[in-house]
Chain A
Amino acid sequence: MVPCTAPLWVVAAYRFPGQVWHLELLAPRRALYVLCAQKGVYCLSLDHLSRSTSQDDGDSEDSELPSFVIPVGPDACILPDASLCAFTVLEDTLVTLVQGPTQWKMQLFERPCPGEDPQPGGQIGEVELSTYAPPAGVPGKPADPRFLPVLCCVSPPASRVPHGQLWGPGSFTLKEALFGLLFGADATLLESPVILCGLPDGQLCSVALKVLVTSRSAPGDPKALVKILHHLEEPVIFIGALRTEPQAEEAAEETLPGEDVHSDCLVALGPYGRTLAIKASWDEAGNLVPELREYCLPGPVLCAACGGGGRVYHSTPSDLCMVDLARGGAPLDPTQPDEGPGGLPPLLCPASLSICSVVTLAVLSRAPEGGTELLALSAKGRLMICSLDLNSEAPGLSPVSRANTGQKIKELLSGIGNVSERVSFLKKAVDQRNKALTSLNEAMNVSCALLSSREGPKPISCTTTVGWSRLQLQDVLMATCLLENRSAFCLGQGWTLCIQVLTSSSALDLDSAGSATTYTIPVGQLSPGSQREVTLPLGPGENGTFDLPVTVSCTLFYSLREVVGRALAPSDSFEDPCVDEDPPDVLPEQEGICLPLSRHTVDLLQSLRFPGLAPPCTQAPPLRGPADPVDAFLEACREPGSQPGSQPAGPASLRAAYLPPSVACIKVSAELLRAALDDSHSGVPLCCATLQWLLAENAAVDVVRARALSSVQGVAPDGADVHLIVREVAVTDLCPAGAIQVVEIQVESSSLADVCRAHHAIIGRMQTMVRQQAAQGSSPPDLRVQYLRQIHANHETLLREVQMLRDRLCVEDEASSCTTAQRLLQVYKQLRSPSLILL
């Protein structure tokens, strides 16, 4: 196998107005037929190079082109049709395949020549082939088909037209038996050439040409004219024929010049390697029967060619393979030595020729020593002649003459170039696969570590903290997620941290659902022991409001598609339409691994700010939510000369002075709290410990602890003040054993919404605490059931009154509704300070 680079001189280069899909050279007429995507068939006469050039000079655009580049103009177009997908030329006819709205149409034209206008009745036949699902494209513009249909012409051996002279290169002659078997007695009797057609939907069908002459008004009846030979279940990308039987009586025939081989085997290939071979054979009874075999070759197939000696060459991105369809050695049944053609091999073993990514392949004439020469074009644009000497494998034994040396060195150099191209490709593919495997292995380890550690700290954790910072003249509540890798494994490529921020529905608008935002952050490389911090804004939202509480969930995601998908499609370096898509069916439906890490709820207590507590040097600038018209009014009302010290400054306090604050109150038994907080807050007054516990996740907890505060004045995210007061009281009438020490947590704010949020946050903490305590098995003291009932009954009354007042509010006029509303507020106030205690 010696590839060599032949010396070539460029005589002319043509530039077509569209992508070239197919071309055929009709050598005896020195005519080149070219199918341009979305344009039609062009015909160039190779004798008139100068004439074509002179037509286009003066065009300013062309001056940039090299002098030998000839733009092909519309006058060379012999068949303008945007829906043409394939053609083949034979004798004086042009056979085309057109993509109709619902069907493929085969049309037959009298072969038009360049320069002359074809007769109006140039079309002499038409038949519709089969239904197909039209590819989805932009309406009005046909989509670029991924696979084009294949046409080729098959002639019977007895055809009187000397084949090979006026026929295109895509045609071949089949032996009588196979021809008759495939196309029937009619085509055989008529000695009609047959057009074989391989469609992208996998159909392989045939149309006898002599039958396909119909008038324009009545296309032929497909049932009568079209014979479906097979369904490949893959798009057909290649149809060829070859000779598998070396026959003695026809040995003489092959030596005749211009006489071509009569093939006895038909081959069709799909892009994923499915291969069909059909031969004629005789069954036991002497009947002629088709022998049909399907093979699977390594794909994806870029191109293929049939050679002498029953060999099929096909190219994949990684190799050029050769399979032998000829019956190797002895006939299958030795008792019937001459009983017709032998069978096809049950299996094909592709032999590698070690040339990668050949995109076009042609078998040159058989070399005299029995070898074969292939003309191949690689994806990188190298045109190669590959001589296959399949018999003699003894290099270096023959004496090399001086004259040969130069040639030999050239060949060797070319061989080295070819090998290095292949090596670089293979290396890249192997590297990619190794990387993917390593990455997969690590992903497995990480997943196991995370999923197996049920208790104790997880080896990979994500903690979320909340803080305020100033961004673009606005205070923003930021969540900081800290991803820590304490495992022994590395989080590498393919891992992403997904953080979902889920807001609760707004308290004021009960209908609106909460919104969710997901941030996806590639982890990159996180080695053991290292950590990564991600900060994201929680609010204010676009309308300046905070929808607390907000839930922040962190998840690790490993993308299989990103890591494995690329390695499974090793051909991504090629611009080939057949491989640039994801490999089919190799990846499962789920595209990755999802590992939940943590879930954190940000509530009002965490986002409170305490400007009064901060030391003066680090005091934040005055906090102000969006301008409130009430605040503005109050500001305007203030007397200009008032002392700043006499009253708390700021509109918030003013507001507090004019609008009575809303209050909510929660009572917890001191014993319960003490039990819960004992271990961490021993030696601190219970009220202070409670406050510290409540604000544990707030940045201000240190100051609160340092000053041992039991009440604190804070500012909610929306600017309203929030007052938290914790005090110890005794409740006497609840328990028969005597007074119960109770911690009362009171929330005061001018904003009702903030009272609700704070209340909600405190209750949430209480619930968690109570659940923990219950788990430890503490028992509540004796209670006076009668008293509890009384409280419950009071509540029921209040609730009924609320219902009644609300109903009344709907029907009353303005004056009386005012009083009703006031009463309603009072009742709500009563409800908010219950006499019930958490015990």
Chain B
Amino acid sequence: MSHQTPPDSSCLDLWREKNDQLVRQVKVAQDSGLSLRRQQLAQDALEGLRELLCSLQGLPAAVAVLPLELTVTCNFIILKTSVAQGFTEDQTQDIQRGLERVLETQEQLGPRLERGLMELWDSVLHASSLLLDLLPALHRLAGLQAALWLSTDHLRDLALLLQTLNGSQSGSSEDLLLHLKTWSPPAEESDAPLTLQDARGLRDVLLTAFTYRQGLQELIIGNLPKALSSLHEAASGLCPRPVLVQVYTALGTCLRKMGNPQRALVYLVEALKGGSALGPPLLEASRLYQQLGDTAAELESLELLVEALSVTHSSEAPQLLIEVELLLPRLDPALPLHCGTQSQAKHLLASRCLQTGRAEDAAEHYLDLLALLLDGSEPRFAPPPSPPGPCMPEVFLEAAAALIQAGRAQDALTVCEELLSRTSFLLPKMSQLWKGARKGTKGLPHCPLWVSATHLLQGQAWVQLGAQKEAVSEFSWCLELLFRSTPEDKEQGAASNCEQGCKSEVALQQLQAAALISRGLEWVACGQDTKALQDFLLSVQMCPGNRDASIHLLQTLRRLDRRDEATALWWRLEAQTKLPQKDTTWSLPLYLETCLSWIRPSDHETLLEEFRTSVLEPRGL
């Protein structure tokens, strides 16, 4: 027991009164609607608590003052954490200081060796069995320690602490959930100094946060049944509404992945009833409908998502308490609950429209998206889709492809010209290009793939407009640039920073094939079959896996009546079909896929059938 006489009791009253007044001030701040005033009140209260704690800890620790001191410590940590929206190293030190003060009164501190926090807790909790007055405050501090350890993923320490708190000696230290549930902090006395948050409240927050974290982790690593049970646990606990929406959405994701779309839908509807953050459940619903094949419902969900994200939901100011949200992992784009921004949603909607063949809608959505991104008069900055989505030039290209698909070639040309004009000064100087070609210099200018792709789409637009000459010249320009660019080029240049999407060798090959086929088709249309043959031959050489190129070549060979070569090619094609089909287009950018779909030979099955009969017949005869 301490030998120090407690400070004058009137002093103790004074401190206690100060603590109570500061806690009341925080509650006033909490209720204050004005965020600025709230912030200032909270800052002032924090400063006041800091000063009070300093004066309390300036004196030797005394048993009579300790309950108040620990209460002030807890209030300080709670307010500081909620103002800073997260735990920091400082809070660890604050907790440690509090524990050392308890040990000081027990004269157990001994030589001030470096002791781990867990050892400190052990000695304090053993010592505190003698000090019953201290227990409520200690449990509160333990709750804060638990929250800190949960938020920093120190689950082993957390389990040990709870085990010690519960006084259980059982070896099953791993079952954190059980420990949390069995932890029953002593009731606070009614005449105790005011606290911002009591130990029971902390325990409830910890329970929800822990189960939800657990569920999310299991969901990410794909352990679905475990995730489901954890998430159910989280939903059944005391859960603030925004967190409940998240939990329901996660449940929806989990059930969808488990092949339970109907039950998933039920949870998503529940989440939508929550009303605050509609983004994640709507996005999840669109994924669900996509899985179910209900395109109309999927696109409707996406439209709703765009709408929901356009309204800046005035998120309620966070409580000045330790809340579940504070203990959750940061929402990063890898999580299933990340719904991105409005323009990301808009892009998703537009690209889904394009993929599902609703070209008119897609074109409109793309134009909306470009307006959203580029319009400087918007009062608000609007973000472009950030990686892993496509980069800005690709969004332009997708828009152009959608416009061509929708039959609006003129608009597509405008979009392409806009793209080129905005980035013209980043591109290699064309005079240099020619000069380099003339001189045959070893270093060739590097040109980003999307520049070539723009010319390809421009050519396609001209094709649609019936301007063959322009189309051929754009395709030639495209090829000229393509043969100069090498995807391996680790150029640090300006325009190449966003080419992750189209850097692959495959994309370059397919782009070359597409340009060659496009030009070949134009030659065919003009009746210049030999030129067409050259292009198709080249395209087959460039991209041997491209079946379309081979079929175009086959058609041309047949038209030119070069039967032997045609037959040889057909045999090769037959051999290819017998090989397991490799899906080569999976990694292609959307605009390129769309473009490839335009130049696909329409009646290749009949053509191949004809060949089969014509080749096999002579042999049969």
Bound complex: CA A112 to CA B34 (Å):
13
Bound complex: CA A638 to CA B171 (Å):
78
The A interface, classified by DSSP as helix, strand, loop or mixed, is loop
Bound complex: CA A77 to CA B44 (Å):
13
Binds A, one of B106-114, B259-267, B377-385, B584-592: B377-385
Interface pair B392/A214, CB less than 8 Å apart: no
Interface pair A219/B498, CB less than 8 Å apart: no
Inside 8 A of A124's CB, which chain B residues have their CB?
380-381
Interface pair B448/A185, CB less than 8 Å apart: yes
Interface pair A285/B432, CB less than 8 Å apart: yes
Binds A, one of B125-133, B201-209, B217-225, B312-320: B312-320
Q: How far is the CB of A178 from chain B (nearest CB, A)?
A: 9
Interface pair A181/B381, CB less than 8 Å apart: no
Interface positions, chain B 294-346, Cβ under 8 Å from A, are 312-317, 325, 330-333, 338, 341
Interface pair B426/A288, CB less than 8 Å apart: yes
Binds B, one of A26-34, A113-121, A560-568: A113-121
Q: B444 near A: Cβ within 8 Å?
A: yes
Bound complex: CA A108 to CA B391 (Å):
23
Closest 7 CB pairs of A and B: A286-B432, A285-B443, A101-B88, A160-B376, A218-B331, A286-B445, A181-B494
Interface pair B381/A210, CB less than 8 Å apart: yes
Q: A225 near B: Cβ within 8 Å?
A: yes
Interface pair A287/B376, CB less than 8 Å apart: no
Bound complex: CA A191 to CA B433 (Å):
27
Query: With A211-B386, A286-B432 given, is the CB distance from A101 to B426 under 8 Å?
Result: no
Q: A224 near B: Cβ within 8 Å?
A: yes
Q: B562 near A: Cβ within 8 Å?
A: no
Q: How far is the CB of B374 from chain A (nearest CB, A)?
A: 7
Q: B396 near A: Cβ within 8 Å?
A: yes
Q: How far is the CB of B176 from chain A (nearest CB, A)?
A: 25
Binds A, one of B417-425, B508-516, B572-580: B417-425
Inside 8 A of A218's CB, which chain B residues have their CB?
330-333, 338
Interface pair B333/A190, CB less than 8 Å apart: no
Bound complex: CA A288 to CA B86 (Å):
44
Q: How far is the CB of B387 from chain A (nearest CB, A)?
A: 5
Interface pair B443/A284, CB less than 8 Å apart: yes
Inside 8 A of B101's CB, which chain A residues have their CB?
none
Interface residues of chain A, those whose CB is within 8 Å of chain B, are: 74, 77-78, 80-83, 92-93, 101-102, 108, 112, 117-122, 124-125, 134, 139-140, 158-161, 176-177, 180-182, 184-186, 188-192, 209-221, 223-225, 280, 282-290, 339-340
Bound complex: CA A465 to CA B497 (Å):
82
Smallest Cβ-Cβ distance to B426: which chain A residue? A180
Q: Quick one: which of B43, B386, B443, B448 contacts A283, CB cutoff 8 A?
A: B443
Q: B495 near A: Cβ within 8 Å?
A: yes
Interface pair A140/B90, CB less than 8 Å apart: yes
Q: How far is the CB of B443 from chain A (nearest CB, A)?
A: 3
Inside 8 A of B433's CB, which chain A residues have their CB?
286
Query: With A101-B88, A213-B382, A288-B426 given, is the CB distance from A118 to B35 under 8 Å?
Result: yes
Bound complex: CA A117 to CA B491 (Å):
49
Inside 8 A of B312's CB, which chain A residues have their CB?
121
User: 1/0 contact trace for B78-118 toward A, CB 8 Å?
Assistant: 00000010111110011000000000000000000000000
Interface pair A213/B380, CB less than 8 Å apart: yes
Q: Quick one: which of A81, A191, A289, A339 contacts B493, CB cutoff 8 A?
A: A289
Most buried by A among B338, B445, B498: B445
Inside 8 A of B379's CB, which chain A residues have their CB?
92
Interface pair A190/B392, CB less than 8 Å apart: yes
Smallest Cβ-Cβ distance to B484: which chain A residue? A285
Q: B549 near A: Cβ within 8 Å?
A: no
Q: Quick one: which of B50, B90, B331 contacts A217, CB cutoff 8 A?
A: B331
Can you give 13 contacting A-B residue pairs, CB < 8 Å?
A120-B316, A140-B90, A159-B376, A177-B426, A177-B494, A180-B426, A181-B426, A184-B495, A186-B384, A186-B497, A209-B381, A286-B433, A288-B428
Q: How far is the CB of B571 from chain A (nearest CB, A)?
A: 44
User: 1/0 contact trace for B386-412 toward A, CB 8 Å?
Assistant: 110001110010000000000000000
Q: How far is the CB of A89 from chain B (nearest CB, A)?
A: 15
Smallest Cβ-Cβ distance to B97: which chain A residue? A139
Known: A82-B43, A186-B497, A189-B396. 19 other contacts (CB 8 A): A74-B40, A93-B381, A101-B87, A102-B88, A108-B381, A117-B37, A124-B381, A140-B94, A158-B422, A177-B494, A181-B493, A188-B422, A188-B494, A189-B392, A217-B331, A284-B443, A287-B446, A287-B491, A339-B429
Bound complex: CA A191 to CA B330 (Å):
30
Inside 8 A of A210's CB, which chain B residues have their CB?
373, 381-384
Interface pair A214/B383, CB less than 8 Å apart: yes
Q: Quick one: which of B332, B377, B391 contacts A186, CB cutoff 8 A?
A: B391
Inside 8 A of B606's CB, which chain A residues have their CB?
none
Smallest Cβ-Cβ distance to A227: which chain B residue? B497
Bound complex: CA A180 to CA B497 (Å):
10
Q: B39 near A: Cβ within 8 Å?
A: yes
Smallest Cβ-Cβ distance to B89: which chain A residue? A101
Inside 8 A of B313's CB, which chain A residues have their CB?
121
Q: Quick one: which of B39, B94, B330, B419 contacts A139, CB cutoff 8 A?
A: B94
Q: How far is the CB of A336 from chain B (nearest CB, A)?
A: 10
Interface pair A213/B445, CB less than 8 Å apart: no
Inside 8 A of B432's CB, which chain A residues have their CB?
282, 285-286, 339
Bound complex: CA A192 to CA B428 (Å):
22
Interface pair A220/B426, CB less than 8 Å apart: no
Most buried by A among B341, B425, B432, B441: B425
Inside 8 A of A102's CB, which chain B residues have their CB?
88
Bound complex: CA A212 to CA B341 (Å):
11
Q: How far is the CB of A500 from chain B (nearest CB, A)?
A: 29
Inside 8 A of B187's CB, which chain A residues have their CB?
none
Most buried by A among B86, B381, B384, B396: B381
Q: Quick one: which of B34, B325, B377, B386 contacts A221, CB cutoff 8 A?
A: B386
Inside 8 A of A212's CB, which chain B residues have their CB?
381, 383
Interface pair A284/B341, CB less than 8 Å apart: no
Inside 8 A of A93's CB, which chain B residues have their CB?
381
Q: How far is the CB of B140 from chain A (nearest CB, A)?
A: 19
Q: How far is the CB of A209 from chain B (nearest CB, A)?
A: 6
Inside 8 A of B374's CB, which chain A residues have their CB?
189-191
Interface pair B36/A78, CB less than 8 Å apart: yes
Bound complex: CA A283 to CA B325 (Å):
52
Smallest Cβ-Cβ distance to B424: which chain A residue? A176
Q: B268 near A: Cβ within 8 Å?
A: no
Bound complex: CA A216 to CA B446 (Å):
40
Q: How far is the CB of B508 from chain A (nearest CB, A)?
A: 18
Q: B492 near A: Cβ within 8 Å?
A: yes
Q: B544 near A: Cβ within 8 Å?
A: no
Q: How far is the CB of A227 from chain B (nearest CB, A)?
A: 8
Bound complex: CA A140 to CA B338 (Å):
34
Smallest Cβ-Cβ distance to A156: which chain B residue? B422
Interface pair B381/A213, CB less than 8 Å apart: yes
Smallest Cβ-Cβ distance to A283: which chain B residue? B443
Q: Quick one: which of B93, B316, B332, B425 contacts A177, CB cutoff 8 A?
A: B425
Bound complex: CA A181 to CA B443 (Å):
19
Query: With A101-B86, A287-B493 given, is the CB distance from A217 to B317 under 8 Å?
Result: no
Bound complex: CA A186 to CA B87 (Å):
35
Inside 8 A of A78's CB, which chain B residues have their CB?
36
Q: How far is the CB of A1 from chain B (nearest CB, A)?
A: 38
Interface pair B428/A80, CB less than 8 Å apart: no
Q: Quick one: which of A139, A224, A286 contacts B90, CB cutoff 8 A?
A: A139
Query: With A225-B386, A286-B432 given, is the CB distance from A120 to B317 under 8 Å?
Result: yes
Query: With A101-B86, A213-B381 given, is the CB distance from A191 to B376 under 8 Å?
Result: yes
Query: With A120-B35, A124-B381, A285-B436 given, is the CB distance from A221 to B332 under 8 Å?
Result: yes
Interface pair B40/A224, CB less than 8 Å apart: no
Smallest Cβ-Cβ distance to A74: which chain B residue? B40
Inside 8 A of B86's CB, which chain A residues have their CB?
101
Interface pair B445/A80, CB less than 8 Å apart: no
Q: How far is the CB of B392 from chain A (nearest CB, A)?
A: 4
Inside 8 A of A220's CB, which chain B residues have their CB?
386
Interface pair B50/A214, CB less than 8 Å apart: no
